[in-house]
Structure 1
């Protein structure tokens, strides 16, 4: 077990790890207010500037499963601290950038630190008492919503009133503060971490497959879905993923244990996670546009970037507010039920939006986002509990990181699908094509359908008793005794 300071009260540990999650989420939303300005700021094309966002997505996709595996091998706390290093360095590089290339490099470094949230959730299993594990997981999961909620108005206010470079300096300082708090106050893992050698070929293979997939999905609209580049990338995925799976199944210490991932509880939770990630992200692509489009369109509300961020902020905070409610539901009925209820709430929010699009008040859209994000808060707290209830202690970080990757893939597909819908269903406004009211409604109906699909998958998850997963040695030792008592509370259910 890695050396660490004496543990503070559990609430302090959870607060520090949730703060880490907020900073990570803040990093992801940081550049949203700058998107339209990036070509002018760096004297480049809009296509080149879009890599400022794409680089973070790709780096995070590659780094997250690697960070999880290393966390199981060398300690989640150590890997959590290590993940903050590129987050700080990337923020500094971005703050000092005067051209688009170093800006993209800095954003890529920031993406390497995105394993913070799944590592933090996994660490909770080791350092928080069993009776507080469920609520702690829910709060940690909700921190992503809080970071996003604070990020938009914060970034918009700074971008409008001072230099954009301040955004990145602030994130660098916050990440350093998070590291100092973890180093000083958060205890380390228990010794039951996974041993073995690091699977470098597996990491390279998975990284290559993910880069090809996410590049094709995120840039396909720009390059053309039928272009040689896009089709070649999709073809590469069809070759690389099976080859990677074959390699992983040969190893005793793989990057991702596909046999564990194939367990019905894990497999179906990950499937639901892709759908929830899609459903969560679709409304965040639609509502900001509706808030900012000119009122003369008949359905836009003419809000400024800062006002849009402020209207979106309560929805993110709602995730945190609903996290203890979701934890109580999980304790009473099991996280499977919480995930299904959360997915239904997301679908209900989308359904509610269809007649409200075109109203002349932002309050109607606020209601939609509050309902949707209430469901996201339920779902995001339930998914890690389901995963941790189905995997051994030694694979907690790896399994949680893979689950986080599944959510990210869902959000990437949401961006592609909703982007295509809004690009195809347009209306002419002063000579410029804008997404039409019917386009926005179609996008929200897609989100509703995906939310309902997530609820169906969640309802079909076959939850197995967590104690059946414990190795014999763990079941008789002190750590095993605690795990046997805590895992059912965190994830077992009345299915």
Structure 2
């Protein structure tokens, strides 16, 4: 456990001021979601503009994912050491430069550099959660974190819709791609001039070797999972990087258990308090980030050709996605007052139970479109409660001088869960495909069954979390924050 650097006590800020700070951070998350959702609908047009193949343009998404895998734990930990606002400023400037490069770069190589610089976008939320918990606690902090998460989700939808609308206008692609930069500029103004610095610090020693080992392990793991989704786990292109990731990660754990100031406190991550939360977060990320593509493919399949599906149009697919997203946004925004009445563990159990039930409905009933709607709506309710409550609980259970890295680890594990799901679900669908490469309906049933099992694991993990009585009821933490 890292030692905290003592310093003079700082008085807690007035609630009104803390509320204003949260308001500026909420706009930052709106911008974060907007940037994350904006580029995907424009990928075909970007590929045409750069004169690259469909295979090459997949690097557009992959590079950002790899950059996020490295930057999230690094910047989260550095935030605990040097200040969360300082690291958030660095992350915002990096994203701003990245969005400008993506819009103005003349070739794919420079565009990919821009996408790498956008990678730190994933650390905005962990750093903002740390900033919130440094100023407020209890139910007020939960409401704030819920609003941050729900705004991020809403921003992603807004970005996707905006890209579809703006992309239809006969204007240069560079102008279209400059729209996200406008949101990031306003976020930079908020972070530089309206958000105060956090007042807690952990030890100032940086575990350079630990971060290098972690970065190498994450890149190898995500690369191997990406290849596994394309060519299967047995292919050397997937197996070798996955094996290398396991070896490097084992060395990383060995090193972290012996160094005085570890990059990630392994004992804290595996403790009875945070360990089960991380397991639940990984399981949740596996479904939330991995199940959308198979469901979309199933709904869009023509039953006259393959024997299943509903030949749903793009508009119908958007309606289902929008319904799930809206429910998730509302659940994340309002989990705090619900938790105040019934306790945060009960909220999490309801969330995991509802999401698991929705997946089970899809396993058992998928012959009528309304059945898919029922399952999706139930999942959306569960997603929302988990989206808001899990990161809030991580922040409350983590030591005050390690909130940033605790939230960063949670964010990374959710992303990793989605990467694992992409590879596993692709394997399940491929294993049941016919000679023409068309998956059987049993492949989709296996995908939904895996989602159900993931939420069973999350439910059990939530039951095992050691939650103090004060945290369970959402009472504010004792004031007196060290600067």
* TM-score above 0.5: yes
Flag the 1:182–1:39 CA change in 2: closer, same or farther, 3 A: closer
2:425: which partner in 1? Answer: 418
Structural mapping, 1:23-172, within 5 Å:
23-35=31-43, 39-128=47-136, 130-162=138-170, 164-172=173-181
Q: 2:286 aligns with which of 258, 278, 282?
A: 278
Flag the 1:296–1:377 CA change in 2: closer, same or farther, 3 A: same
Number of residue pairs the alignment of both structures matches: 466
Q: How far apart, CA to CA, are the structure 2 residues paired with 1:183 and 1:309?
A: 37
Encode CA deviations 1:164-195: one digit per residue, 9 max, x unaligned.
545531111101111212333323212x2223
2:3: which partner in 1? Answer: none
2:415: which partner in 1? Answer: 408
1:461 corresponds to 2:469: no
Gaps of 5+ in 1: 468-474, 484-495
Q: How far apart, CA to CA, are the structure 2 residues paired with 1:340 and 1:234?
A: 33
1:413 positional shift: 0.8
1:442: which partner in 2? Answer: 446
Flag the 1:286–1:154 CA change in 2: closer, same or farther, 3 A: farther
Q: 1:233 aligns with which of 224, 229, 241?
A: 241
Q: 1:336 aligns with which of 337, 345, 364?
A: 345
Flag the 1:187–1:132 CA change in 2: closer, same or farther, 3 A: same
1:389: which partner in 2? Answer: 396
Q: 1 or 2 for the larger relative contact order (CA 8 Å, sep ≥6)?
A: 2
Structural mapping, 1:249-264, within 5 Å:
249-264=257-272
CA contact (8 A) 2:211 2:263 kept: yes
CA contact (8 A) 1:10 1:129 kept: no
1:92 positional shift: 1.2
Alignment RMSD, CA only? Answer: 2.9
CA contact (8 A) 2:272 2:464 kept: no
1:488: which partner in 2? Answer: none
1:433 positional shift: 4.0
User: Given the two structures, how large is their TM-score scaled by the length of structure 1?
Assistant: 0.85
Q: How far apart, CA to CA, are the structure 2 residues paired with 1:318 and 1:164?
A: 33
User: Given the two structures, how large is their TM-score scaled by the length of structure 2?
Assistant: 0.87
1:187 corresponds to 2:199: no
Q: How far apart, CA to CA, are the structure 2 residues paired with 1:435 and 1:71?
A: 46
Q: How far apart, CA to CA, are the structure 1 residues paired with 2:295 and 2:56?
A: 26
CA contact (8 A) 2:356 2:455 kept: yes
